[in-house]
Structure 1
Amino acid sequence: MKRNEIYIIHGKQYIDMTERLLQEADLAGMIGDREKRIGIKPNLVSASPASEGGTTHPEVVEGLIRYLQRHGFYNLAIMEGSWVGGRTEEAFEVCGYRKLAERFHVELIDAQKEKSVTKDCGGMELHICRCAEHVDFMINVPVLKGHCQTRITCALKNMKGLLPNGEKRRFHAMGLHRPIAHLALGIRQDFILVDNICGDLSFEDGGNPTEMNRLLAAADPVLCDAYVCRFLHYQTRDVPYIGMAETLGAGSSDLDRAVIRELNKPEHAAELPELGRVLKLAEMAEEVESCSACYGYLIPALDMLEKEGFLKNFKEKVCIGQGFRGKNGVLGVGRCTAGFTHHLDGCPPTEQEMYEFLKDYIMETETRRLICDLACIPAAAGQEQKRADYIKAWLQRQGAENVYEDQAGNICWLWSRKKEHLTVFTAHMDTVFSEDTRLQIREEDGRLYCPGIGDDTANLACMLMAAAEAARSGWIPEHGILFAATVGEEGLGNLKGSRQIFKDYGYAADQAVCFDLYREAVYCRAVGSARYEVRVRTPGGHSYEDFGRKNAIAEAARLITRLYENEGRGSGKATWNVGTIRGGTVINAIASEAVFTYEYRSEDSGCMDEMEQRFRKALDETQDGDVSAEATCIGIRPCARGVDGQRQKELADSCRRVLRKYTEREIPDKAASTDANIPLSMGIPAVCIGTVAGAGLHTLEEYIESDSIRQGFKITGDVLRMCVGEQRKESPQD
């Protein structure tokens, strides 16, 4: 085979193809002496099967060994060192090379364990593994792949596997291209057998294989890589080390003088993927002297995030590389960015770890921004429209379709193919604060302060993040979730929003989870309440001239005294309270009218019934000829009735497990008055849980703990996945 030739063979019988290709190239004639020590250098960058597109197929190396041994060459050694952070021994095992070496009695050398020698490589001193120096004829068996930093990796770059890990890191500190070019003089490649079966044309560690089913043979590594550039629609100038290696005399990139010999024709024309995607993803990173493993994991992690829609609004750069050692910054991955505010340790961290870390960072940033935006929009009970408009538009931007505002003013999105066996998620939009309350975020000592930020703005934002995750998934369950941002939960809103939701969907709801309060308990019992405005009237008169007439304020006070002598009955706790009182006109007039508000509460329906009877009796006892007492109901929050105890317990226990996972504490059952009262009163299992830590409910100094935001969106996400269960695995859409 001549230096200006490239042979190509197509097919799926990889062992036979290899032997035929080598026969046509006359590899045996090129080697000559049967006593020569022959090095075989595959690409085992990581411990991943060749089918994933990152490593050399063992069938190709088997075909090579069969050919060599049939021609009398037995002094063979397979040598490789995986990338920094990987273990070559594991790659030998996973990729099938240990068994291959044992079957054919070939030496297997882990270059990561080899001592190194220093060698002058065209004016650059490089440290090279000793095993590469003890070879008479080197056969390079790279995978034709894309590369996040150099665009391609094939013949020239594959020899980097025969460097010690410290030298691999130094290559990145020197900018990769120049040392790769000089390495071509340090380790001579006598023959190149290219695995172009299914290499990942985007990422060097595989994961996105492109089926090509062909092998290439070449004698000039520079010409080989120049051909790969043209094949992938790059110019050789796009991969600087090719031109640098040519200048150093390692080979020629002149494809006009090359002779391409195809030994057969492919059955089907292969289609190349869109390769600009990697370059676009690379723009999201700020890379300075990063190692291949670290950077090679980052780009696929960003690719996964981009496909899932997480990078749509992501503007920050992810810093990576040795150039950030000892420096400060915001967001970085790898041990070299240890000084950054948000950083992922590891050398290198894995692709999955980077994906999870960046996803958490993006989700936390989005959740925090959403909390702050919502908290600054006034939303007193009955005046939620501005928040409703914001939420509807926000959900639509996340990809949620058919978001609507219902008759009560709730913002709803149904994530389900059918209107049956639904789980209802609610979080209320309204707060206890009036329209003129100053709403401004203040961050202090790891806390975010703002009226209404905990009740219920943070929980609302975390529920919306779960809805966004559902919308981005590209999947709709058969029996899914109704997301509802509700109105009228606070004060005299009388659970207006929740009533409308379960009026519309009660027939289809199997269970409900309401996100409210803090994450300290599972609120699985409904505190019912009855609220009244009581108006007491008397004739009134002058305080001196008409002294002795009945005073409405005094009569109201007597009525209040009777009410406070009330005693609850039934099995549950009962409370009662006079919240406001007003009456009279001036100091020297006998009051003709007094008005107060009164409520009683209990989680026991029997107790509530008896409290109602006692209230009515106290009203009747107040009436006489000159005194009237009228009560107007201004709110009823029902207790639970007819709920299946086992199903309620299962739902509560499932939510408790989620909370315990993120709080690492015991989570008790408690009773509360929330949106969950309505489904519970209809016999539908329902619980209320919080998603964040905080305090100061219903005060101007209300706050949430900033660090709890990350757990908050994870809690709603886990509850979402818990509720849709195994449906995704079973869905034919997937």
Structure 2
Amino acid sequence: MTTAFDKDLELIFQKLTSDRQVKQALDFFKQDAPNTIAQQKELVVIEAPTFQEKQRSLHYAQMLKAAGLQDVTIDEKFNVYGKIYGSGKTGKSVLLEGHLDTVFSFGTVTDVIEKDGKLYAPGICDDTRALAANLSVIRALVNSGLRPHHDIMIAGTAAEEGLGAMSGMKYLVNNKAEEILAAISIDGPSNDVMYFNATGMINYDVTYTGPGGHAYLAFGTPSAVQAMGRAIAALSDMQVPETPKTTFTVSLANGGQAIHGIAQSANFKINMRSDSAEVLAQMEQQALAIFQQGADAENARWQKPGAVKVTFSKIMDVPAGSQSENCRMVQAAKLATLACGITPQPRLGGCTNSNMPIAVGIPAVTLGRGGAEYGTHTVDEWFDPAGVYVCEQKSLLLLLALAGLTDVTAAPQL
């Protein structure tokens, strides 16, 4: 971990952690932890599959208002957000968000089981914990009387998971790009992990179709499954760099209609990722050529040009982006973590809602939810809230550092 920090940033955190009101606000999180856990349990049973977040969004809006957030708004994507207005009336904001959706379908979550100090429920961690934590941050700001210089925006965002492709955060950031100075996402495990780079991700759906026929009588007819196999074999031979980290996999494949039939159709899906937007674009172009080559090679083998055809569509496109580990946003996130007695553990890659602000040049980090957790994205998911309030403490300190605290610290240039 980089240990050198800009002196002005170190001074900001020294002033914040020495301020009486800030200390009171940090202590408040320990007292408020039972309320936060109760709200986490309340939210997790309001199921919110990706693209179906309406009910949770409506409920969260009421919780945000009750915590003291002003001008709470639900947009057309069912993002919900509001503000704590700054004394500077600058019209600029620092964003703190967690995502509303989970990976589970309706009917998966019926209740929360408490056992041995742990909370068991699918989605109890990812990312319901963040939503509850951010409510506590609002209460701490309102109850302590702390007045930021710039506005603070708190949001629950939609469609982060799966094919949602972080589209809720993308919509929010694109519509507020001129306003948002910096963004903090709460996602991922533990109190020490942080993500400051944006691993890009592209998914394609690829389909081969052909005339098919009887396996014996129509022998010599090009096969959709064999065309798919040729493409998959060629894709598996693609060479990608170790640095920046770049990956790919054919994740799903199926085809054919009968064991004794030449396949009329076949389909596969491929996932490609890279920490570099340029490398990801190059890999995408290589893959597109291979999709067609699979059909061409199968048709050439049987001397039947055009018999098998291929169609494909991009079903996910998450932008890549990077920030230096020495950039001031990352320095500030590390200082906030250290101020809470935690040694930060930065991750070089990561695919989180921070991708969207980073992609448009807005400084951003993703901080862990705190506590201990197990089985994220499985029905065995559990959460242990011991010491979890450190998450809220980090969020508060980083928000105040970036937004500035009236009569205590000025907002830094990032």
Normalising by structure 2, we get a TM-score of 0.83
Question: What's the CA shift for 1:585?
Answer: 2.8
Contact 1:367 1:713 in 2 (8 A): no
- Using the alignment, how far apart are the partners of 2:364 and 2:215 within structure 1? 55
Which residue number in structure 1 is paired with residue 189 of structure 2? Answer: 518
Contact 2:148 2:400 in 1 (8 A): no
Which structure is larger by alpha-carbon Rg, 1 or 2? Answer: 1
Equivalent position amino acid for 1:627 in 2 = V
Match of 2:233 among 561, 572, 579: 561
Which residue number in structure 1 is paired with residue 362 of structure 2? Answer: 684
Alpha carbons of 1:709 and 1:621: their partners in 2 closer, same or farther (altered >3 Å)? same
1:60-139 to 2 correspondences below 5 Å? none
Pairing 1:405–2:86 present = no
Pairing 1:366–2:35 present = yes
Residue 623 of structure 1 aligns to a residue in which SS?
helix
Pairing 1:655–2:336 present = no
Which residue number in structure 2 is paired with residue 341 of structure 1? Answer: none
- Using the alignment, how far apart are the partners of 2:26 and 2:293 within structure 1? 67
Which residue number in structure 2 is paired with residue 699 of structure 1? Answer: 378
Question: What's the CA shift for 1:599?
Answer: 1.3
Match of 2:285 among 588, 607, 613: 613
1:138-537 to 2 correspondences below 5 Å? 359-417=28-86, 418=89, 420-473=91-144, 477-519=148-190, 520-537=192-209
Question: What's the CA shift for 1:430?
Answer: 0.6
Alpha carbons of 1:683 and 1:570: their partners in 2 closer, same or farther (altered >3 Å)? farther
1:31-50 to 2 correspondences below 5 Å? none
Larger deviation, residues 673-682 vs 547-556: 547-556
Pairing 1:544–2:222 present = no
Residue 196 of structure 2 aligns to a residue in which SS?
strand
Equivalent position amino acid for 1:390 in 2 = H
Pairing 1:593–2:271 present = no
Equivalent position amino acid for 2:117 in 1 = G
Question: What's the CA shift for 1:730?
Answer: 7.7
User: Per chain length, whose mean CA-contact separation is higher, i.e. which structure has more relative contact order (CA < 8 Å, sep 6+)?
Assistant: 2
- Using the alignment, how far apart are the partners of 2:75 and 2:344 within structure 1? 38
Question: What's the CA shift for 1:468?
Answer: 2.9
- Using the alignment, how far apart are the partners of 2:25 and 2:94 within structure 1? 27
Contact 1:388 1:409 in 2 (8 A): yes
- Using the alignment, how far apart are the partners of 1:730 and 1:386 within structure 2? 39
Which residue number in structure 2 is paired with residue 670 of structure 1? Answer: 348
Which residue number in structure 1 is paired with residue 316 of structure 2? Answer: 635
1:403-450 deviations in Å (ceiling 9; x for gaps): 010122100112235464421112111111111313432223332222
Contact 1:538 1:551 in 2 (8 A): yes
Pairing 1:575–2:253 present = no
Which residue number in structure 1 is paired with residue 11 of structure 2? Answer: none
- Using the alignment, how far apart are the partners of 1:728 and 1:377 within structure 2? 41
Alpha carbons of 1:730 and 1:388: their partners in 2 closer, same or farther (altered >3 Å)? same
Contact 2:213 2:262 in 1 (8 A): yes
- Using the alignment, how far apart are the partners of 2:148 and 2:48 within structure 1? 32
Equivalent position amino acid for 1:443 in 2 = E
Contact 1:477 1:727 in 2 (8 A): yes
Question: What's the CA shift for 1:547?
Answer: 2.9
Which residue number in structure 1 is paired with residue 406 of structure 2? Answer: 727
Larger deviation, residues 412-421 vs 681-690: 412-421
| Structure 1 segments (4+ residues) deviating >6 Å | 355-358
1:602-631 deviations in Å (ceiling 9; x for gaps): 001221121012111202212332222221
Contact 2:160 2:353 in 1 (8 A): yes
Question: What's the CA shift for 1:600?
Answer: 0.3
Residue 518 of structure 1 aligns to a residue in which SS?
coil
Alpha carbons of 1:484 and 1:356: their partners in 2 closer, same or farther (altered >3 Å)? closer
Contact 1:429 1:487 in 2 (8 A): yes
- Using the alignment, how far apart are the partners of 1:377 and 1:470 within structure 2? 26
Question: What's the CA shift for 1:497?
Answer: 0.8
Larger deviation, residues 541-550 vs 400-409: 541-550
Equivalent position amino acid for 2:98 in 1 = A
Structure 2 residue ranges without an equivalent (≥5): 1-20, 297-305
Residue 345 of structure 2 aligns to a residue in which SS?
coil
Contact 1:691 1:716 in 2 (8 A): no
1:562-590 deviations in Å (ceiling 9; x for gaps): 11111124840110122222322333332
- Using the alignment, how far apart are the partners of 1:676 and 1:493 within structure 2? 15
Alpha carbons of 1:444 and 1:670: their partners in 2 closer, same or farther (altered >3 Å)? farther
Which residue number in structure 2 is paired with residue 272 of structure 1? Answer: none
- Using the alignment, how far apart are the partners of 1:356 and 1:511 within structure 2? 22
Identity within the alignment, %: 27
- Using the alignment, how far apart are the partners of 2:276 and 2:346 within structure 1? 19
Contact 2:29 2:136 in 1 (8 A): no
Corresponding residue pairs, total = 375
- Using the alignment, how far apart are the partners of 1:730 and 1:683 within structure 2? 25
Residue 70 of structure 2 aligns to a residue in which SS?
coil
Contact 2:82 2:154 in 1 (8 A): yes
Contact 1:691 1:715 in 2 (8 A): no
Question: What's the CA shift for 1:661?
Answer: 4.3
Question: What's the CA shift for 1:400?
Answer: 2.1
Contact 1:521 1:669 in 2 (8 A): yes
Equivalent position amino acid for 1:452 in 2 = G
- Using the alignment, how far apart are the partners of 1:361 and 1:729 within structure 2? 24
Which residue number in structure 2 is paired with residue 140 of structure 1? Answer: none
- Using the alignment, how far apart are the partners of 1:659 and 1:691 within structure 2? 12
Which residue number in structure 2 is paired with residue 89 of structure 1? Answer: none
- Using the alignment, how far apart are the partners of 2:177 and 2:401 within structure 1? 21
Contact 2:57 2:80 in 1 (8 A): yes
- Using the alignment, how far apart are the partners of 1:403 and 1:486 within structure 2? 13
Residue 526 of structure 1 aligns to a residue in which SS?
coil
- Using the alignment, how far apart are the partners of 1:578 and 1:427 within structure 2? 30
Alpha carbons of 1:663 and 1:705: their partners in 2 closer, same or farther (altered >3 Å)? farther
Residue 608 of structure 1 aligns to a residue in which SS?
helix
- Using the alignment, how far apart are the partners of 1:495 and 1:427 within structure 2? 11
Structure 1 residue ranges without an equivalent (≥5): 1-351
- Using the alignment, how far apart are the partners of 1:666 and 1:597 within structure 2? 36
Question: What's the CA shift for 1:507?
Answer: 1.2
Equivalent position amino acid for 1:610 in 2 = Q
Question: What's the CA shift for 1:532?
Answer: 1.0
Normalising by structure 1, we get a TM-score of 0.48
- Using the alignment, how far apart are the partners of 1:444 and 1:547 within structure 2? 62
Alpha carbons of 1:436 and 1:594: their partners in 2 closer, same or farther (altered >3 Å)? farther
Equivalent position amino acid for 1:635 in 2 = M
- Using the alignment, how far apart are the partners of 1:356 and 1:397 within structure 2? 18
Which residue number in structure 2 is paired with residue 96 of structure 1? Answer: none
Alpha carbons of 1:533 and 1:600: their partners in 2 closer, same or farther (altered >3 Å)? same
Contact 2:291 2:310 in 1 (8 A): yes
- Using the alignment, how far apart are the partners of 2:65 and 2:135 within structure 1? 11
1:193-235 deviations in Å (ceiling 9; x for gaps): xxxxxxxxxxxxxxxxxxxxxxxxxxxxxxxxxxxxxxxxxxx
Pairing 1:714–2:383 present = no
Question: What's the CA shift for 1:473?
Answer: 4.7
- Using the alignment, how far apart are the partners of 1:681 and 1:414 within structure 2? 24
Equivalent position amino acid for 1:557 in 2 = G
Alpha carbons of 1:688 and 1:730: their partners in 2 closer, same or farther (altered >3 Å)? closer
